[in-house]
Amino acid sequence: MTLKKHLFILIVFLLLASLSLSGFLFFADNALDKLPFAGMANYNPLEGEEPIEVSYFDKISKRVRTKHYSFASVGEEVSLKGYEVFPTYITCDYFDILNQPLNGVSFSEEEQLSKAKKAIISDTLALKLYFNTDAVGKNLELNGESYIICGIIEESKNLIDKFSQDGKERVYIPYTLAENPEKLPVHTIVYDTRTASAGVIEQMNTPQYHFTSLSEKAQVINCLRHVAFLVIYVALAITLMYLWYKICSKLLKEIGENLKKNYFLKSFLSVPLKYIFFVLTALGIPALLVFIFLKSDFSIFIVSKYIPYDNLFDIGYYFERLCEEAQYMNTLALAGDTYRINLYTSTFSTCLWIGAIFTIFFIITIVLLLSLIKKLFKKYS
């Protein structure tokens, strides 16, 4: 194979590896932006038990001083200007806990207590109803009642987000507007995992709910990013150390031959650049790799339930457990807001496949690069 052909194939595989890495990072970063430091519990009808009621949370409020949790209750499907929507009763801090960006604001606690008729809808529904996503302040007729839109949910339009959504349009309103608020069935519970309320909620005797730590899922996705960067670093280290070996070997050979003919001082004065280049290469490349390693974050978070008992380096075991969980999540019939749970499973599966493709392309690229370096040294030595 000629050098030009070799170089062309190397560039092709480098581009393929770069494209796959870009796709991997895009999907990973997209999920990390939407997975907050929060936990979520979704009602699972397959458990055969009825969902808890809003009054159940009176027990929690007696055990924790600060309220860092919220809930959602999905009402019966109704028609709104020809579109099927679900009235969803929430508390005022529902979107704050989920770190959901809003165009506008959520209703306040005072408006919740005073039963103000405020509503929050998605920008997709706003576009359908008003032909404009800027619908804050507009009136909305729901079940014969007039509501004022105070916030618009800013939804992402990329492909993986669309696959993660359940296709249902919801109108979020204060739970106090329900006919009997205390008797509302709770379909989704959200809570801040960094507060005392998290432990209380997770210890509730509610087997009919499936608990998901969104912050833990974010750490898993971030772990995949770190693995990708670690692969790049290891490949870079192998390439640079191979180059280091070739350059130092060549320079040492030339310097050794030169020293046989001259005294050291005379030789050093006659060819100073060769010695300088040798010292810079011999010390500079290892120092550069150490510097990059110290400045980079390659920390890999592993959830305790995924760690094998017998062999910590059994990579297949980790991926097997993660894939099993992703498949298990797909078999659940969860009620309420499942967007972020679906987003995690979709992102994990997508990143796993794209990451494998990237690794294959990148390994081929490194092999081609090492082979090219070997050819160049052989040709010009």
Q: How far apart are CA 206 and CA 168, in angstroms?
A: 26
What is the four-CA torsion angle of 11, 16, 19, 21, rounded to 10 degrees?
Answer: -100
pLDDT tens for residues 291-329? Answer: 887 777 766 655 555 555 565 556 666 666 666 666 655
Residue 229 in contact with residue 298, Cβ under 8 Å?
Answer: yes
Tokens of 170: 């919801």
pLDDT tens for residues 73-96? Answer: 998 888 888 889 999 999 999 999
Residue appearing with tokens 């929060």: 38
User: For 56-65, 193-202, 214-223, 281-290, which range has the lowest pLDDT when averaged over its residues?
Assistant: 56-65
Q: How far apart are CA 227 and CA 325, in angstroms?
A: 20
216's torsion region: left (phi>0), alpha (psi -120 to 50) or beta? alpha
Residue 244 in contact with residue 277, Cβ under 8 Å?
Answer: no
pLDDT of residue 282: 77
Q: How far apart are CA 369 and CA 358, in angstroms?
A: 16
pLDDT of residue 118: 94
The span from the first CA to the last CA of the chain, in angstroms, equals: 19
pTM for the full model?
0.77
Tokens of 245: 């070996």
Given a cut of 60, whether residue 40 has pLDDT beyond it is yes
User: For 124-138, 158-172, 183-197, 206-220, which range has the lowest pLDDT when averaged over its residues?
Assistant: 158-172
Residue appearing with tokens 């619908």: 135
Greatest C-alpha distance within the chain: 102
Task: Provide the CA 2 distance to its chain's centre, in angstroms.
Answer: 43
Q: How far apart are CA 74 and CA 168, in angstroms?
A: 11
β 188-192/38-43 pair status:
antiparallel
* Closest residue by Cα to residue 40 from 361, 335, 316, 378: 335
Given a cut of 80, whether residue 160 has pLDDT beyond it is no
